[in-house]
Structure 1
Amino acid sequence: MANTDEKHRAAATCPRCGEIGIVQVWPDGTLQPLGQSDFCECPSSTLRVLETDADELP
C-alpha cells in the first residue's frame, strides 16, 4: 500500500457537469487537476475521486 504522506494520481469527476479527468491527490486530501489549472467550467466545483493509481491496489 502507498505511503499516506505521498501524493498520488486519481481519476476524478465533477458532480455538476460530469467532466472526468486526472487529478493529483495531496496527503491533505487536496485535489489538483493535472496539466490544467481548472478541471471544468463549473464555478467552485467539488471534485469526486473515482479511482486511484493501479499501483496502489492490493
Structure 2
Amino acid sequence: MGNTDANRRTIAACEQCGSLYAALEFSDETLRPIGRRDGCQCGCTEFTAVDGSLSEEALGGGDG
C-alpha cells in the first residue's frame, strides 16, 4: 500500500463548473474527489482546494 499518511481530506472545487466535492489531497498536491474517479459530473478533471478553514469546518473539524 502507498503512504496514506501523506494524504489528507479536504474540499475541492471543480475548475470548470464550481461543484464542490469531499476529496483527498495527495503529497504531490493533486486532488481526487472521493467516490468520483472519473472527475466532476460535468466531465472536468481539474480541481482546486477550497480554503483550509472552510474545509475543516465542512468535514467536521471546526469548533462550531
TM-score by length of 1: 0.65
Let me know the Cα RMSD of the aligned residues. 2.1
SS at match of 2:21: strand
Kept after mapping to 2: 8 A contact 1:15/1:46: yes
Structure 2 residues not aligned, in runs of 5+: none
Tell me the alpha carbon deviations over residues 13-52 of structure 1, each in whole angstroms, 9 at most, x when there is no partner: 0121111101111111121111121231234x42010034
Structure 1 residues not aligned, in runs of 5+: none
Relative CO higher for 1 or 2, CA cutoff 8 Å, sep ≥ 6? 1
Aligned residues: 50
Aligned 1:32-51 pairs, distance under 5 A: 32-40=32-40, 41-43=42-44, 45-50=45-50, 51=52
Equivalence for 1:20? 20
Identity of aligned residues (%): 26
More strand by percentage: 1
How many Å separate the matches in 1 of 2:13 and 2:28? 19
